[in-house]
């Protein structure tokens, strides 16, 4: 005859309860030991009786098993917390992305409207508001442009003043140098005059005794110089001289 099933509830009789506790405690610890040996598992069992007595079993030492248990529970809790935080951040990021997309779309629409495009769905008030915004932006742009121009003009004035001061300083230095080293004024003769005087002096220095020859040479040179100044060809000068030579030969 097999054993019948008993109802799982608290045993009211204290003697029966104590006997059942002893039997089942021994069986539980035996099963834990068998489980550790057969399956190479780390098993720990802690039992407190209703009177407060402690009964325990550990296959690898109770402290070692408890520290391992604490590490596992801490890591699992932290992993769960991190997972929850990651899920929350993903939700927040998705919401932020949607908000940013909406803002970008609004900004693009406003930019097109400021450029005079995509005005089909606007009413009179919206168009007036858009016109006011454009006028305000234009006035601010003009003010900024005038400000930049004034700055450039001021910089140009400052540079001009610096250049004037530098010029004045250089002029004073030149005047001081002139006072220290006065310039002697002398007339530099022209090339033709210098060359003509040099030819005359050469005749005198070479001991030419015929003054008429020197005068004729000087006259010839003067005529040639006159011919050069007037731009006449040299053959005209020779044609003019040839009759004079003939008359001189006849007179002789």
- Residue ranges per structural domain of the chain: 14-60, 192-239
- Cα torsion at 98, 99, 105, 108 (round to 10°)? -140
Domain 14-60 sits in CATH at 3.40.1810.10
- Which pLDDT does position 189 carry in this prediction? 54
Q: Which of 141, 143, 119 is nearest to 131 (CA)?
A: 119
- Which pLDDT does position 245 carry in this prediction? 45
- Which pLDDT does position 210 carry in this prediction? 45
- Which pLDDT does position 156 carry in this prediction? 93
- Which pLDDT does position 228 carry in this prediction? 46
Q: Which residues of the chain have pLDDT under 70?
A: 1-4, 76, 79, 182-252
The rounded distance, in Å, linking the Cα atoms of 136 and 129 is: 11
- Which pLDDT does position 117 carry in this prediction? 81
- Which pLDDT does position 217 carry in this prediction? 45
Supply the DSSP symbol for 3: P
- Which pLDDT does position 218 carry in this prediction? 46
């Amino acid at each position: 005859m097999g054993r019948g099933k008993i109802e799982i509830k608290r045993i009211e009789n204290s003697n029966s309860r104590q006997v059942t506790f002893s039997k089942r405690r021994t069986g539980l610890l035996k099963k834990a030991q068998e489980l550790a040996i057969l399956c190479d598992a780390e098993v720990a069992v802690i039992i407190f009786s209703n009177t407060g007595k402690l009964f325990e079993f550990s296959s690898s030492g109770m402290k070692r098993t408890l520290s391992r248990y604490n590490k596992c529970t801490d890591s699992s809790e932290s992993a769960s917390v991190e997972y929850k935080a990651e899920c929350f951040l993903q939700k927040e990021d998705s919401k932020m992305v949607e908000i940013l997309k909406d803002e970008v779309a609004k900004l693009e629409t406003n930019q097109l409207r400021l450029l005079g495009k995509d005005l089909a769905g606007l009413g009179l008030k919206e168009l007036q508001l858009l016109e006011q915004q454009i006028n305000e932006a234009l006035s601010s742009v003009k003010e900024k442009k005038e400000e930049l121009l004034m700055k450039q003009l001021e910089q140009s004035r400052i540079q001009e003043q610096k250049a004037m001061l530098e010029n004045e300083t250089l002029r004073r230095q030149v005047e001081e140098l002139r006072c220290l080293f006065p310039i002697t004024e002398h007339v530099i003769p022209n090339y033709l005059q210098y060359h003509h005087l040099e030819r005359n002096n050469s005749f005198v220095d070479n001991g030419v005794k015929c003054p008429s020859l020197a005068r004729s040479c000087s006259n010839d040179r003067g005529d040639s110089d006159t011919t050069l100044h007037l731009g006449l060809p040299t053959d005209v000068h020779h044609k003019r001289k040839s009759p004079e030579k003939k008359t001189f030969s006849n007179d002789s």
